[in-house]
Amino acid sequence: MIGLFSVVGLLASCASSITPSTSSTSTTSIVSTTSETPSSETIVSSELRVFTLAELAAYNGDNGATAYIAVNGIVYDVTNADEWSNGWHKGMHLAGTDATAAFADSPHSTSILSSLPIVGTLAS
């Protein structure tokens, strides 16, 4: 019985000397995603990939492949979005493109993008 108390005491003293690390290697910047609502902001990690238009074109959702769109310089993953079946939105807009102009003319605002994963930014 004394041996058990010694082990418990040893474990307790070891646990109290362990301090969790609080440092983080990830950094973030805040980017406004809409001109309609400047207060609406999206946090974008600085570690996200930067896509050229040519690279983005490879993510067109063809035959169930990954589908990305860019809107206002932010690249979103629309692969699992019901509205983007096989890389097409309503049969009018193709994934793998900069959809900024299409969103400017759409009946909904860019706030609809807030539920989509951000995977990168579009190169200037």
The confidence score (pLDDT) of residue 82 equals 80
- Average pLDDT of every residue of the chain: 70
**Per the structure block, which two tokens stand in for 90?**
């309503």
Question: For position 18, what pLDDT does the model report?
Answer: 38
Q: Where are the domains of the chain?
A: 26-122
Domain 26-122: which CATH number of 3.10.120.10, 1.10.3720.10, 3.40.50.2300, 3.30.9.10: 3.10.120.10
Mean pLDDT to the nearest integer, 75-90 = 81
* 84 has pLDDT over 90: no
**DSSP symbols for 96-108:** SSB-HHHHHTSSS
Q: Over the stretch 32-49, which tens digit does the pLDDT of each residue have?
A: 444 443 333 455 555 899
